[in-house]
Amino acid sequence: MPANETVLYRGARFELGRGPGFYGIWPAGAPRPPSIEWWPETPEGWRGAWSRFTGLETPASISAAAPASTIIAAAPPGTIIPAGPPGAAGPRPANPAVTRARAVAGAALLAVGVGVGIASLFPGYFSAASLTQQPPQLVTHAIYLAVWTVSALLILRGGNLARVGALLGLGTSIVTFGFFFADTGTAIAGGGTVGAGLVLGLIGWLLGTAGSVAAFRFRPAEALGKPNGPARDRILRLTLATVAALGAAIAFAPSWDSYTLRAPGQPVQSLTAGNAFANPGLVIFGNVAVMVLLVVVVAAAAWWRPVRLGALLLAGATIPMAASAIEALVQVGEAVSPTQFGISRAQASQAGLTISSGLTPVFWVYCAFVLALAAICGWMLFAPRRANRAASPVAPWTPASPNLASWNPAPWAPAPAVTPASPAAPPAPVETAGPAHSGDATPPSGPADSAVPADSAGPADSADSADSEGSAGSEGSAGPAGSGDSAGPLSPSLG
């Protein structure tokens, strides 16, 4: 076993242990392969791993691998699952009061930021015109505020939802830094005044970002940890997400807006606008920051584990890029003023000039890459759950012991009055009618005359029980699988 992985509990066929940022289950024996199923190193992950482990093993065969002074004894049937792994090396549980305080503080900062952001929609943004008078930009800011609102509500719920909300808001805040910086550069470089709406918007962004950071607890094992099993899926996910992010970033730079000018007796003129590099230096820096931060956040999200949490970070980064595409579509429906081309309205009317707007092919390429990011986000969010439901809980797990197929449980030694037929026979049933039956019990004469009831858990039945209940354990079941038939002290031991 690698030095950074530790066995916590051992059973007859499997071992439960800890690796960097995860809890995993290994087949018992040597040489030991990578973990074949793992959970995040969280209290919820520990409960899921313990439930899964006790569903695969007979509780009586489970023993702790840590020193006796630091272990939590394996729970017998009907007892409470341990709250955490044994030993001082386990993750220190977070103080509930501190965790709740961080969540409340983060949600409060986000709520105030959303309130300030709503207030920024009404005063002048670049000059006298407010965002409410500019529908394309109003749509993008409304989308940002909606994401931060959802993030605040999720954080306030606490538990795993707080982490989900923090990652969602953090992804949006990181990417929108470039957009707000570009807006500030536009106001400064254009010689105009920085409107009150822009100032309030920047304050709202700072508060929203601070709230997401306050509620977010960075765990290096999640963002930076190496995969604990085959890395093929993780590398494929990273490659696809990075390619889609690079494509979106590259397509973000060229001109999206296309204008066609027509006048009687004059040749048709076509113009494009919106190139990210045809701007003052501060605006270019903001646009480049958007592209770079998008790629970095998407790559981190694709590498994140658990995968579903990475999907939320990816969603937060993708939403602002989708908002930019929506802004461009809304702008196409707006009337185009001839003053944008240095022509007064009177001159345009006198010349019979008409201006129509459209979108360049590069814009549609950009949309395709953004949709690809959204599809990867959905894949990361739902594929692990579907895989857990579709996969057989026990069939893929091949213990290293070559004698497992021919293994038979050790015969149970009952009271002197009852004896099993042979070592290979299932354990004898327990007669509950009273002492009068104990003198009549006789060993069965053979398999055909066996007195074992139909619901007795022999070796084959115990495997079926693990198959039928194991997946529920991995989805967060509350108790060990198959404990209804094999949990009593009379069940065969896997040791």
Residue extents of the structural domains in the chain = 1-93+456-495, 96-390
Q: Please choose, from the candidates 178, 175, 176, 165, the residue with its C-alpha nearest in 3D space to the C-alpha of residue 214.
A: 165
pLDDT at 314: 97
Beta partners for 130? 124
Provide the sign of the torsion angle of the four alpha carbons 4, 7, 8, 13, taken in this order: positive
Length of the chain: 495
Cα end-to-end span (Å), the chain: 22
Tens digits of per-residue pLDDT, 215-235? 987 766 566 555 544 567 889
CA 9 to chain centre: 27
Answer for the pair 300, 366: CB distance below 8 angstroms, yes or no.
no
Q: Please choose, from the candidates 120, 151, 152, the residue with its C-alpha nearest in 3D space to the C-alpha of residue 137.
A: 120
pLDDT at 224: 58
Provide the sign of the torsion angle of the four alpha carbons 259, 264, 268, 271, taken in this order: negative
pLDDT at 443: 38
In the chain (495 residues long), the average pLDDT of successive 10-residue segments reads 72 83 78 67 82 80 60 39 45 68 94 97 89 94 97 91 93 97 89 85 96 84 54 87 98 95 83 92 96 97 88 96 97 86 85 90 98 96 61 39 42 44 38 39 38 37 36 36 36 34
Q: Please choose, from the candidates 495, 475, 458, the residue with its C-alpha nearest in 3D space to the C-alpha of residue 52.
A: 475
Amino acid at residue number 1 = M
pLDDT at 342: 81
Question: Other CB atoms closer than 10 Å to residue 241's CB: what's the count?
Answer: 26
